[in-house]
Structure 1
């Protein structure tokens, strides 16, 4: 997991855990200046051996630490981790825990560390699932000027007939004024199908960007206080029903990493996200073949299977109103008609995380074929900052 220079102003590393599958990385600068990366890994998403893994890189280091597992519930699949350092310097790990492929059973759990991630307290439930929809997270917590913590989340809604499929999911912000002890929910209006809400401060209030369950375009909305939001509206950037993430650069621009693809680029689609996992959280579910696709998006149901590649980078100087696409960070097939990475069936380059450090370097981590996490460091002199794709 040693860094290697791969071009002017660019270095890379591959993070591997001792499990077949790795997915959904999140980066954060830790107390003390180390860079931390968390992701989930195990046999396959939805299987009950999925755990949260953690690795770190010193500011002047050239090698990531050996990953360690931070969770271990034998009855749930642990997914979508994130790291957050609170105003008092305590490091938090948050993640979701669900039964098998039923995201509507997910609850948000947390652990805390007072020494920058070397030791942790016992896991606890932060946000419980209710009877009809689970609570899922993906994006970092923001802290307002008044000290309120804002945790973006989405609710995995089960339809009146059938199982969870994602098309009815909605977004909300959970707010805490007591350092995470209690939370209140503030729903985002008109957010059906808009998930993975990524909240960022702007000159006046906040802006948020969303993944689209319908695999058409990234959406955005604004808020004066982080609690009351406008309805998500389409942007000009495509989305394939896969995760995105943005951060604020030192020069004030927003930088966003995403897959520049959508349902319009798909020739086939999946019947569901967890077809290969049974109701008990083990492999052996329905192995349904991919379905031919006409290339049109449909806002009545979630679309799974649009290519998860290339991994694109765009910047905005006007808080997301317009975007400039730069040199792609990774290119490939992006095939994701199966979550099976053990047999090389999955070729996605997806679920990016991006963070800028105090030195001006930009760090990106993303899923590579669901078998490892790819890490990229972009320095200020990286030529891609000047280039347009």
Structure 2
């Protein structure tokens, strides 16, 4: 019924969102688990596909964001349904104390079977550090946790991008203080064994975190970032991520909330909250939209994923699977993770 109502709304009330240019349609919508059964709150989901076509999702959950009991949870899609959530990683330290976990990112490089689970551990985003686990069996089991080198945080929210030559670019950022945010790209040419960080306009005035990376058909790379300035900000690279242009504004507004973007064919898609910043960081997250672009600068909304007056629908991740289906996962009021599929 939800699917039918959405289509009728698109057809009769807001035809500009029917995506005639992009030709997309909502295929399915579901929650990942039973609300309230496993934890009080959850946030920051990620999704990936194994080499044999199985979907995996992960997120952090516990009493509330930043509490010591927050761990990394995950599930696999088996026999037409999501498995019950399991803890995939925690923030237990060598001395037995516990730190909260944050922002998992699942990633598998093309033509490889090894899965990576990147995440952060620490008291807050200004003091956290990067961690990684790997899986050889599609997420059924995970290796021991490994801390990333000093100065390397791993992907902060959105997944890395594999270039045609095998180089892996990990979109990252640092919240230096409450007042200063900067983004960078971590680059690996040895299958994610070592990394070198390259800044994105650290001398500029814009404050950005949580970039996505997309590659244009001419080989240019583009980052799309969350910002404090009320817009989705962007920068460009013509040397495979080693140097970046000054940050500039796209035409997308941003309420200081996470976004995610991918390229599908000759078109780009971004999931974002269409609002200006409010007094508090959580304001502006009650609406969630999918927009499309052909140049990465000018965007057009093509689908309303959520359209409420109150609530939090945030921190989306978007991916395309091996069959061409587009998947989006996002926080649903901190109580569950919603998974939607879109057919282009």
Scaled to the shorter chain, the TM-score interval is 0.7 to 0.9
Deviation at 1:5, TM superposition (A): 7.2
Do the aligned partners of 2:148 and 2:154 also contact (CA within 8 Å) in 1? no
Do the aligned partners of 1:105 and 1:129 also contact (CA within 8 Å) in 2? no
Q: Specify the alignment match of 1:63 in structure 2.
A: 81
Count residues with an aligned counterpart: 311
Q: Specify the alignment match of 1:299 in structure 2.
A: none
Deviation at 1:96, TM superposition (A): 0.8
Deviation at 1:73, TM superposition (A): 1.9
Q: Specify the alignment match of 2:257 in structure 1.
A: 242
Deviation at 1:208, TM superposition (A): 0.9
Correspondences of 1:1-389 after superposition (within 5 Å): 6-7=3-4, 9-16=26-33, 18-58=38-78, 61-74=79-92, 75-87=98-110, 88-99=112-123, 102-128=124-150, 137-158=156-177, 165=178, 167-189=179-201, 190=204, 192-203=206-217, 204-214=219-229, 216-224=230-238, 225-249=240-264, 251-263=265-277, 266=278, 269-270=279-280, 304-318=281-295, 320-334=296-310, 347-380=311-344
Cα distance in 2 for residues equivalent to 1:349 and 1:374:
9
5+ residue gaps in structure 2? 8-25, 93-97
User: Residues 372 and 169 from structure 1, CA distance in 2 versus in 1: closer, same or farther, beyond 3 angstroms?
Assistant: same
Cα distance in 2 for residues equivalent to 1:126 and 1:191:
29
Cα distance in 2 for residues equivalent to 1:197 and 1:205:
16
**TM-score, normalised via structure 2 length:** 0.85
**TM-score, normalised via structure 1 length:** 0.75
Q: Specify the alignment match of 1:281 in structure 2.
A: none
Could you list the per-position Cα deviations for residues 123-151 of structure 1 after superposition, in whole angstroms to 9, with x for gaps in the alignment?
Answer: 00124369xxx777111111222222211
Do the aligned partners of 2:198 and 2:242 also contact (CA within 8 Å) in 1? yes
Deviation at 1:213, TM superposition (A): 2.4
5+ residue gaps in structure 1? 159-164, 271-303, 335-346, 381-389
Deviation at 1:325, TM superposition (A): 0.8
Deviation at 1:104, TM superposition (A): 1.6
Could you list the per-position Cα deviations for residues 270-315 of structure 1 after superposition, in whole angstroms to 9, with x for gaps in the alignment?
Answer: 3xxxxxxxxxxxxxxxxxxxxxxxxxxxxxxxxx243212101101
Cα distance in 1 for residues equivalent to 2:224 and 2:73:
26
